[in-house]
Structure 1
Amino acid sequence: MGVNATAAVLAVDAGNSKTDVALVGADGTVLGTGRGGGFQPQVVGVEAAVDALAAAVGEALRAAGRGEGGRVGGGPAGGGAAPGRRERAGGGAGGAVHVSACLANADLPVEEDELARAVGARGWGASVRVRNDTFAVLRAGVDEPRGVAVVCGAGINCVGMLPDGRTARFPAVGRISGDWGGGWGLAEEALWYAARAEDGRGEPTELARALPAHFGLESMYALIEALHLGRVPGERRHELAPVLFAVGAAGDPVARALVERLAGEVVAMAVVALERLGLRDAPDPVPVVLGGSVLAAGHPQLNGRIGELLRERAPAAVPRVVAAPPVLGAALLGLDDVGAHAAAGEALRAHYAPDRNRVGANRVG
């Protein structure tokens, strides 16, 4: 079968560190895949960031037996793509390819619209829908587009969705939008408490020894100096989140309090999203998908406490860690957009994560 006759969705999941692309048929068959670098439009600009997606898209097209220069399907370059995030494709049966792009740093609807125009101008498909990449995590972890996801990686974000298209979301751009948590935020907090413990302004904590020891240093003063002068690159601060969890697991009160606070933040976001969608008191179980490196690591104190708090505040919520790759979610969202049969989604899911990512697996608490 030729690619033009069977391709329905070009799925893109682009995070800060990597991009995954899959060309998917109307029956859920994966025709080709590609991988590229991170997607950071806030650093390099929108056009340069979309340029970076092209390498992964080209790899997927080549794997599907298509030349690098050709369009996947549907309309002229820049003409047939939808400018807005709300665009829906006209159905997979017609042969036109729909681009479903779940992108990091598409935090606001206005950013999704701008990115959809930029992606649409590449002519990769007849229609385009751009969403924040947290939606990919959510859809990868549920069998239907119903539920809530909280992602805690470098930062923290939460989204929810219903089958009728309604969504719940947060700006999730940092402290100015009320966020607390994520691996980067945890590292900053750990450094703050450790510095004050060493110089006497704060209570004692094992973090004052463990954080500098991670870098082979003997004191917080030495670590502060190394970070300030660049001898330890600033981006390596993210390595300190696992140290914090280890110190907390060993019983340190300060570290445990930070982990407890993060659990509360995760649950606060999830409960608000559930309320907005009318799911907090639903009669049926509601999936709360947990994703991102911090939550996927399965720290017993963190994930166990999340389960306890959700049982108290939203009894219908069923928390679980998603194991499937987010590109699966981007592809499933695309199949939803084009009205594909349920069997297509089942086939796609079986390709990416057989027996691992059904609702009910990897339950928390």
Structure 2
Amino acid sequence: MGVKPAAALVLAIDAGNSKTDVAVVRAHDGAVLGAARGGGFQPPVVGVEAAIDVLADAVVAAADAAGLGGPPYAAHVSACLANADLPVEERELADAVRARGWAGSVAVRNDTFAILRAGVEEPRGVAVVCGAGINCVGMRPDGRTARFPALGRISGDWGGGSGLAEEALWWAARAEDGRGEPTELARTLPAHFGLDSMYALIEALHRGRIPAGRRHELAPVLFATSTAGDPVARALVERLAQEVVAMASVALSRLDLLDEEVPVVLGGSVLAARHAQLNPRIAELLAARAPKAVTAVVTEPPVLGAGLLGLDHLGAPARARTGLRACYAGR
């Protein structure tokens, strides 16, 4: 191509637990010169170096698609990675990426920052992501950020598909055996798997006939049961709305944005589904805490956000950000 990558390109990486997306982005106009998809990024399971090897496969494929030779491929790596939950983990992963020599500079962030940046026109706002788990981050153009460990109950977090499923199972089990109040969840949860009782579902989960990985399927059942009017299910949906708003409002407060017009973007499979009882309730509760905040659901792919963060780092012109968004419009 005759391109000098060290002066002209961003290597954008969005790596989740199940997949990795990489894009080679031209800094002056935002054009995507090459892209690739790879496997999931799971350093807690396979170790840091093996996880970086998964990234490397996708990086090399994207560089090949862009017509680049060997590394360095770009001026800057902007990597938004799952399991980079603490600043110390971001630093460790940044060191591991830097050692691969893919670019002159490297920035590693938690993958929630990619969703936030994809959903805002400038690096200013808050994002709450609710997929398998729940997380929240915020940022300002001056570099200030707000975040939570998002490590589950040990860090005070509740929500996401896994949390909803676990709580729904708890209430349904107690309803069936008499320890708790009645709920239709005792019928709808086992029925999803073709079973006729919570006892049968508990046995099937315990003995592995239903893999633990399928528990996330119960979150939509919970929402459907709530929509049908079940009080217990409705209370769980209300609790999730309160959790989302608690995270968002605290992040806004930390960034001194509670009294400013600011976007609060919602992402992840649970929030992107736009459940009729959940999303409007989030907007209602947030309006009481941050009257000027504006909620919106993020539909753009997170790798766009990683690319935009990279362009921000390089001080790219506004036309580059517009061009990059155009590359991902409608995807």
**Per-residue deviation, 1:97:** 1.7
TM-score by length of structure 2 reads 0.97
- 1:36-89 Cα offsets, whole Å, 9 max, x none, are 11111111111111111111111111111135xx1134xxxxxxxxxxxxxxxx
Partner of 2:321: 345
Q: In the aligned structure 2, how far is the partner of 1:196 from the partner of 1:263?
A: 24
Matched, 1:109 2:109: no
User: Which secondary structure does the structure 1 equivalent of 2:182 belong to?
Assistant: coil
Q: In the aligned structure 2, how far is the partner of 1:15 from the partner of 1:221?
A: 34
Alignment equivalent of 1:213, drawn from 177, 191, 197: 191
Partner of 1:71: 71
**Per-residue deviation, 1:2:** 3.0
Matched, 1:4 2:10: no
Within-5 A mapping of 1:1-365: 1-5=1-5, 7-26=8-27, 27-67=29-69, 70-73=70-73, 97-282=75-260, 285-353=261-329
Q: In the aligned structure 1, how far is the partner of 2:13 from the partner of 2:247?
A: 26
Letter in 1 for 2:18: S
Instruction: Tell me the C-alpha RMSD between the 2 structures.
Output: 1.2
Query: What stretches of structure 2 of length at least 5 have no aligned partner?
Result: none
C-alpha contact 1:10 1:100 (8 A) present in aligned 2: yes
User: Which secondary structure does the structure 2 equivalent of 1:97 belong to?
Assistant: strand
TM-score by length of structure 1 reads 0.88
- 1:266-312 Cα offsets, whole Å, 9 max, x none, are 00000000000000012xx2000000010001101000100100111
C-alpha contact 1:14 1:103 (8 A) present in aligned 2: yes
**Per-residue deviation, 1:3:** 3.8
User: Which secondary structure does the structure 1 equivalent of 2:35 belong to?
Assistant: strand
Q: In the aligned structure 2, how far is the partner of 1:135 from the partner of 1:60?
A: 22
Letter in 1 for 2:136: C
Letter in 1 for 2:23: A
Letter in 1 for 2:285: L
Q: In the aligned structure 1, how far is the partner of 2:15 from the partner of 2:198?
A: 36
Letter in 1 for 2:199: Y
Query: What stretches of structure 1 of length at least 5 have no aligned partner?
Result: 74-95, 357-365
C-alpha contact 1:4 1:72 (8 A) present in aligned 2: no
**Per-residue deviation, 1:350:** 1.1
C-alpha contact 1:149 1:270 (8 A) present in aligned 2: yes
Q: In the aligned structure 2, how far is the partner of 1:316 from the partner of 1:239?
A: 35
Q: In the aligned structure 1, how far is the partner of 2:218 from the partner of 2:65?
A: 39
Q: In the aligned structure 1, how far is the partner of 2:23 from the partner of 2:277?
A: 36
Segments of 4+ in structure 1 off by > 2 A?
A: 1-7
Q: In the aligned structure 2, how far is the partner of 1:202 from the partner of 1:2?
A: 69
Q: In the aligned structure 1, how far is the partner of 2:311 from the partner of 2:224?
A: 41
Letter in 2 for 1:288: V
Partner of 1:86: none
C-alpha contact 1:291 1:321 (8 A) present in aligned 2: yes
**Per-residue deviation, 1:314:** 0.5
C-alpha contact 1:152 1:182 (8 A) present in aligned 2: yes
User: Which secondary structure does the structure 2 equivalent of 1:279 belong to?
Assistant: coil
User: Which secondary structure does the structure 2 equivalent of 1:150 belong to?
Assistant: strand
Q: In the aligned structure 2, how far is the partner of 1:210 from the partner of 1:243?
A: 7
State the identity as a percent.
Answer: 78
Q: In the aligned structure 1, how far is the partner of 2:51 from the partner of 2:323?
A: 31
**Per-residue deviation, 1:7:** 4.0
Q: In the aligned structure 2, how far is the partner of 1:299 from the partner of 1:7?
A: 42
Q: In the aligned structure 2, how far is the partner of 1:7 from the partner of 1:321?
A: 32
